[in-house]
A = this chain, B = another copy of it.
Amino acid sequence: MTSTLPASRHTRAADQLRPVRITRHFTMHAEGSVLIEFGHTKVLCTASVEEKVPGHKKGSGEGWVTAEYGMLPRATHTRSDREAARGKQSGRTQEIQRLIGRSMRAVFDLKKLGERTIHLDCDVLQADGGTRTASITGAFVAAQDAVNKLIAAGKLTESPITQGVAAISVGMLGDLPLLDLEYTEDSTCDTDMNVVMTSAGHYVEVQGTAEGLPFTRDQMNALLALAEKGVRELIAMQQEALQS
């Protein structure tokens, strides 16, 4: 067991986020378009409003919020196959886009949204760990922009968004808990946990996985505390970005 800070942390503390940058209106067509950066990780999150709902919501008076996720082939250190060319999305891709979708729906009142769909597309331009947490954090900002446009256009009188949501990864390196894992840290940590929380400080999703040694209850507690700190900071940054 080691508790030495890894080399990757030379400029930040174990409990410190990477520099986060949130750029709204990154592309021009989407109702919400946000480039979010967690250090070197860059994800383009767009929100698209469609004035219809999928089959299982038709006639329900409720809307739907859904997400898709992708990585450009050379977002990663070595080129990975293009999923469109291979003809199917990997299990990992599907897992992530289902997580993003659930996280967004957790803060949406679908009745107030009305019979329309918000599609959130999270496309990773550059990957360095934490692409799913950056996606969730950025998608919320894009969704908020799209909702604001619907309100401004008189299509909604009241926001269907009930609260904020953001996500961060935490990991156990030996007995040292780390916040916001970079790629090299992610692949050396024994435990990797992704935590999605609301602005009220409640959990939407907690996904902890032992990549190496199984983790103890004490380690889990330490990781949850660290994650809470990270999410609180991200939620503040989202608000700041939305007000600028």
A residues contacting B by CB (< 8 A) are 27-30, 33, 40, 42, 44, 46, 48, 50, 68, 70, 72-79, 82-85, 87-89, 91-95, 97-98, 102, 106, 119, 121, 123, 125-127, 193, 197-198, 200, 202-210, 213-217, 220, 224
The 8 A-B residue pairs whose C-beta atoms are closest, nearest first, are: A202-B214, A83-B84, A91-B94, A48-B79, A46-B74, A206-B208, A84-B84, A30-B74
Given contacts A72-B44, A76-B29, A123-B72, contact A203 B216 (CB under 8 A): yes
Provide the residues of chain B in CB contact with A46, threshold 8 Å. Answer: 72-74
The answer to whether A204 and B198 touch across the interface, beta carbons within 8 angstroms, is no
Given contacts A68-B85, A73-B48, A79-B119, contact A205 B200 (CB under 8 A): no
* Contact with A95, one of B73, B91, B119 (Cβ below 8 angstroms): B91
Given contacts A95-B95, A126-B29, A205-B209, contact A119 B214 (CB under 8 A): no
Q: How many subunits of this chain does the assembly comprise?
A: 6
Provide the residues of chain B in CB contact with A203, threshold 8 Å. Answer: 208, 210, 214-217, 220
> In chain B, what residue has the closest Cβ to A98?
B91
The answer to whether A82 and B106 touch across the interface, beta carbons within 8 angstroms, is no
Q: How many angstroms from the CA of A224 to the CA of B50 in the assembled complex?
A: 40
The answer to whether A70 and B82 touch across the interface, beta carbons within 8 angstroms, is yes
* Contact with A77, one of B29, B72, B77, B214 (Cβ below 8 angstroms): B29
The answer to whether A75 and B202 touch across the interface, beta carbons within 8 angstroms, is no
The answer to whether A33 and B88 touch across the interface, beta carbons within 8 angstroms, is no
CB-defined A-B contacts under 8 Å, sample of 19: A27-B126, A28-B40, A29-B74, A29-B76, A30-B74, A44-B125, A68-B73, A70-B72, A70-B82, A83-B84, A88-B88, A94-B95, A95-B95, A106-B214, A198-B214, A203-B215, A203-B216, A205-B210, A217-B224
Q: How many angstroms from the CA of A215 to the CA of B89 in the assembled complex?
A: 31
Which of A33, A84, A119: most chain B Cβ within 10 A? A84
Shortest distance in angstroms between A27's beta carbon and chain B's nearest beta carbon?
5
Provide the residues of chain B in CB contact with A106, threshold 8 Å. Answer: 210, 214
In the complex, besides A30-B79, A33-B74, A84-B89, 5 extra interface pairs with C-beta distance below 8 angstroms are A48-B74, A48-B79, A83-B84, A102-B209, A204-B209
Q: How many angstroms from the CA of A204 to the CA of B211 in the assembled complex?
A: 8
Q: How many angstroms from the CA of A206 to the CA of B208 in the assembled complex?
A: 5
Provide the residues of chain B in CB contact with A204, threshold 8 Å. Answer: 209-210, 214
